[in-house]
Amino acid sequence: MSSKIFDFSNLKGDLMGGLVAGVVALPLALAFGVQSGLGATAGLYGAIAIGIFAALFGGTPTQASGPTGPMTVVSAALVAAAIEMMGSLDAAMGIILLTFLLGGLIQIIFGFLNIAGYVKYFPYPVVSGFMSGVGLIIVILQLFPFAGLSSAKSTVAVLQDLPRLFADANLQALLLGGITVAVYFLFPKITKVIPSALVALISATLIAYFLKMDVPVIGEIPSGLPALQIGGMFSIDAGAYALVLEYAVVLAVLGSIDSLLTSVIADNMTKTKHNSNRELIGQGIGNMVAAVIGGIPGAGATKGTVVNINAGGRTRLSGTLHGIFLLAVLLGLGSLAAHIPLCVLAGLLIPIGFKIIDFKGLKHLSKVPRSDAAVLLIVLLITTFGSLIQAVGIGVALACLLFMKKAGDLSEKGLEVGAVADLDGAKPWQDELEFYEQYKDRVIIKHLYGPLFFGFTSFFKDQVDAHARDVDAVIFRMDRVPYIDQSGLYALEDVIFDLRENGIEVLMVGLQEQPSDMLRSVDIIDDLVEEEDLFESVEDSFDYLKKKLSNG
């Protein structure tokens, strides 16, 4: 790791990347602030603090961090619970900001304890169900603001109040919200140089302002640097400690998962490797600073990170500049933001909510193992209409119990249940020795033992990525894999897709019935692996490759 804080070798690219990421982050920061229940100002403060400090101290040079949908949903749930406990927002602020502060501190501790190494073991159905639930929460909670009405703070209350939505909707707000959504989706067809969210925000706000539309607006945003909010944090009632700890842990875990997933995307785009533990430390510092100035917590923002990289950002200078740009907006244009209608922000958040929903996982519900489908749906429903904390805990516990039952069933049938192993290709099996000696520089043989499930998917992907390079073909020996769960299915899909993108042919040997059914049900066989690349015996695959490689 370089001892220098900033690397100025890519100054032009980093300046452009930071500017574009900041432009993308601005409307979302305001919208997420309103969604949290703390106001647009809190969203902007959070975006500034996390954007600057997570970039300075984090472990992903191109990461652009700020408020995100999942983190905002948890923050909104905390705000609602704290207000219910204390009676008003002012009385609850100490609880809320202390929770944000503790959540950041826990992230820093995660970084020092290498907790990042365990985040990857979350089962896909749990993550999918949770993220889809978060997306639904965002959509449901924005229905009333989209129609120019005040909204209840829970999804259940919103659904119960739906008759008011149809009876009292503000037609001007609906029109303005519809214009926002239309611009958001249609403007990229004209050009992608300018972020459509910003164009939608500005154009709809100008329409409302000049036509003097009667719609609710953000209201006053304080100008100047934010004040410190430390005082009220440490004078809260002892009865609130359980609430503080509960939500702080959830924010820390969710923020860590959210950030590390974005870090992986950044790695894939830049062909680099992030430092997971340092990333959690940087995110934790950013969230603690955000809490101290009254901002909402956040994480690595996928959209901001992608546009930063695409615009030329390559070092931590780009992420820092993205936060500084938002600070400059706060200092210079805060008064103008007061005129932004809430229905316009709702028009930005509703498409974002739909983007968070994992439609891929939902589409495959009837095709994946029933236990995985059940876990996904249970987590989705509990997340959307119950407790986010309980949703994750129940989901992980169910996934583990159901896998243990499946492992027991496989053992009773005499099928081998072990760990994924021999992935480094260093130990050819007896029936591979002759072929291995002749083609070891051109073909890699991957051995898989036992079920490919959520506990081994990350290790499997890392091993294939580390060893399957600069070769012509990869053979997956699947004859000892009796079962694949949803996590394993998508991990295998990602691995095969990456190999094919690099021009490497993928062959599969000895597919058993359940893995074969799963791979066919989601079209991995046909779309990524052709029928001619499936073999019953390894000898058949060797004969096929010998002919192909000799002709090539």
pLDDT: is 295 or 414 the higher one?
Answer: 295
Q: Tell me which residue of 335, 204, 254 sits closest to 74, measured CA to CA.
A: 254
Euclidean distance between CA atoms 176 and 202, whole angstroms: 12
Strand 505-509 versus strand 473-480 pairing type: parallel
Residues 6+ apart with CB under 8 A from 101: 233, 287, 288, 291, 292
Judged against a pLDDT cut of 80, whether residue 273 lies above it is answered with yes
Lowest mean pLDDT among 283-287, 291-295, 377-381, 543-547: 543-547
pLDDT value at residue 124 = 85
- Three-class SS of residue 447? strand
In the predicted model, what is the mean pLDDT of residues 398-403? 80
For residue 446, give the DSSP letter: E
pTM attached to this predicted model: 0.80
Residue type, position 146, single letter: F
In the predicted model, what is the mean pLDDT of residues 80-96? 93
Instruction: Say if CB 121 and CB 128 are below 8 A apart.
Output: no
Farthest CA pair distance, the chain: 81
In the predicted model, what is the mean pLDDT of residues 540-551? 87
Euclidean distance between CA atoms 329 and 85, whole angstroms: 35
Euclidean distance between CA atoms 103 and 248, whole angstroms: 4
Judged against a pLDDT cut of 60, whether residue 426 lies above it is answered with no
Judged against a pLDDT cut of 80, whether residue 429 lies above it is answered with no
**Mean pLDDT taken over the chain:** 87
pLDDT value at residue 459 = 67
pLDDT value at residue 401 = 84
Lowest mean pLDDT among 72-76, 191-195, 297-301: 191-195
Q: How many CA atoms lie within 13 A of 448 on its CB side?
A: 29
529 bridge partner residues: 525
**Cα dist from 164 to 138, 159, 161, 176, 278, whole Å:** 19, 10, 6, 19, 48
Residue type, position 379, single letter: V
pLDDT value at residue 409 = 56
Q: Residue 406: which pLDDT band, with cuts at 50, 70 and 90?
A: low
For residue 445, the surrounding DSSP H or E stretch is: strand 443-449
pLDDT value at residue 423 = 42
Rg of the chain over all Cα atoms, to the nearest angstrom: 25
Would the CA dihedral through 417, 418, 419, 422 be positive or negative? negative
Query: What is the per-residue pLDDT across 501-538, written as a single tens digit (0 to 9) for each?
Result: 888 999 999 999 999 999 999 899 988 999 999 999 99
Q: Residue 56: which pLDDT band, with cuts at 50, 70 and 90?
A: very high
Euclidean distance between CA atoms 421 and 276, whole angstroms: 24
Euclidean distance between CA atoms 376 and 124, whole angstroms: 8
Residue type, position 274, single letter: H
169: left (phi over 0), alpha (psi -120 to 50) or beta: beta
∠ CA 194-41-332 to the nearest 5 degrees?
Answer: 60
pLDDT value at residue 59 = 93
Would the CA dihedral through 141, 143, 149, 152 be positive or negative? negative
pLDDT: is 287 or 197 the higher one?
Answer: 287
pLDDT value at residue 3 = 47
Judged against a pLDDT cut of 50, whether residue 1 lies above it is answered with no
pLDDT value at residue 552 = 59
In the predicted model, what is the mean pLDDT of residues 71-76? 95
pLDDT value at residue 67 = 96
39 φ, ψ (degrees, to nearest 5): 100, 160
Query: What is the per-residue pLDDT across 278-306, written as a single tens digit (0 to 9) for each?
Result: 999 999 999 999 999 999 999 999 889 99
pLDDT value at residue 445 = 85
How large a percentage of the chain has pLDDT more than 70? 92
Query: What is the per-residue pLDDT across 209-243, written as a single tens digit (0 to 9) for each?
Result: 999 999 999 888 777 788 888 777 777 888 899 99
- Neighbour-count burial for 237-249, b at 16+ CB within 10 Å, e otherwise: eeebeebbeebbe
Lowest mean pLDDT among 167-171, 231-235, 473-477: 231-235
Q: Tell me which residue of 406, 448, 358, 45 sits closest to 228, measured CA to CA.
A: 45
Judged against a pLDDT cut of 50, whether residue 414 lies above it is answered with no
pLDDT value at residue 410 = 52
Distance, C-alpha 466 to centroid of its chain: 24
Judged against a pLDDT cut of 50, whether residue 416 lies above it is answered with no
| First-residue to last-residue Cα distance in the chain | 42
